[in-house]
Amino acid sequence: MSAWLLPDHIADVLPSEARHLEDLRRNLLEAARRYGYELVIPPLLEHLESLLTGTGEALELQTFKLVDQLSGRTLGLRADTTPQVARIDAHLLNRQGVARLCYCGPVLHTRAGGAHGTREPLQFGAEIYGHAGREADLEVLELALDALRAAGLRGLQVDLGDVRVVDAVLHGCALTPAQVSAVHAALAAKDTATLATLAAPLPADVRSALLALPTLWGGAEVLPTAAQRLRGGPALRAALDDLDWLRARLHELDRDVRVTFDLADLRGYAYYTGVRFAIYGGDGQPQEIARGGRYDAVGAVFGRQRPAAGFSLDLKQLVRLVPAPPLRAAIRAPWRHDDAGLRATVAALRAQGETVVCVLPGHEHEVDEFACDRELVQHAGAWIVQPLAA
């Protein structure tokens, strides 16, 4: 095997894409900063039990594991940053009020999400801790939409749901955790045959509500239909009311954002406790770009359970959906190590933020990644910038 081959679904990022990724990273972090979110940089490697706290089986299967040669304990390479940020909020910051935190860094997955997916996503996310109200849910949704607009995406769609809907439907049923998990999986896959089998022993009203859930997707009409067809009492009404409130606020903020609902969608939301959302965009067939919601129990294992809401996305997916910005114009300069005036002029231009590419001897006709539209030429004993000759 050639030494330069990389593992499947792992790839180098070459200059043009790296430049685009870095532009996106800066835009997204700046969008978060404008909302008051502070940057944190958790480690890539942690004790396994810390990484997998409250996250469910799906994340455990996605996590690479190894043995620490110093302690003998099992370590994990993070597959998601949210548990780490919860640990930071609980034990390092330990603030009593609201904490707004954001992050951007690589995560590693044992399996790629698709045939052309990567096992090393570059995850950007934002989390707000300390506020239990739906205002925090709205804020992270606003931030996610603003961040995607800053990246250059338009025509976005927000798909909303709430795990409390299913919880309300199943309330009072004596189901084991394994049975609840099986119901969630059948709902997420919209596997009505399996769902009917699982629901068969349950009371008639519960069975009817469960079988109705996979049909409750679409526009604003879904919510009144759900109120009529589902059982759940005050808990169900509270969840549906929160969803309708979010729909109305999003419509006020941006009428171009399409809001839809899928009350049976529980994919990947093992630790969510309330509203969840997915944002779709891109030309042609829209793709899921970001996902998030409320996860109030994520910090419980760290001894400090706090209300929490947030979202995350993969910059490597996002970079494929938005056009790269034009190359920043650069200045070409000759290479003369013994010309103090030239060296001083190049240093001054770089200090002003210009890109100055010095052409090494013998490489005058090579093409590089920079778009040089000007050059440094000597005129009357001084080095000046002038347009590059065609």
Q: Are 356 and 349 in contact (CB under 8 A)?
A: yes
> Directed axis angle between helix 222-229 and helix 204-212, to 10°?
160
Among candidate residues 144, 145, 371, 108, the one with its CA nearest the CA of residue 255: 145
Q: 236, 230, 154, 166: which is closest to 198 by C-alpha?
A: 166
272 assigned ligand-binding residue? yes
Residue 280 annotated as part of some ligand binding site: no
Interior/surface letters 341-377, b for 16+ CB within 10 angstroms, e for the rest: ebeebbeebeeeeeebebbeeeeeeeeeebebebbbe
Q: Flag whether 267 is marked binding.
A: yes
> Is residue 317 marked as binding?
no
**Which of 279, 43, 8, 1 minimizes the C-alpha distance to 118?**
8
- Report the C-alpha dihedral over residues 146, 151, 153, 158, rounded to 10 degrees: -40
- What gap in Å lies between CA 95 and CA 90, rounded to an integer? 8
Residue with tokens 């920043």: 328
- Whether residue 345 is annotated as binding a ligand: the answer is no
Binding-site annotation: residue ranges for L-histidine: 80-82, 123, 127, 267, 271-272
Binding-site annotation: residue ranges: 80-82, 123, 127, 267, 271-272
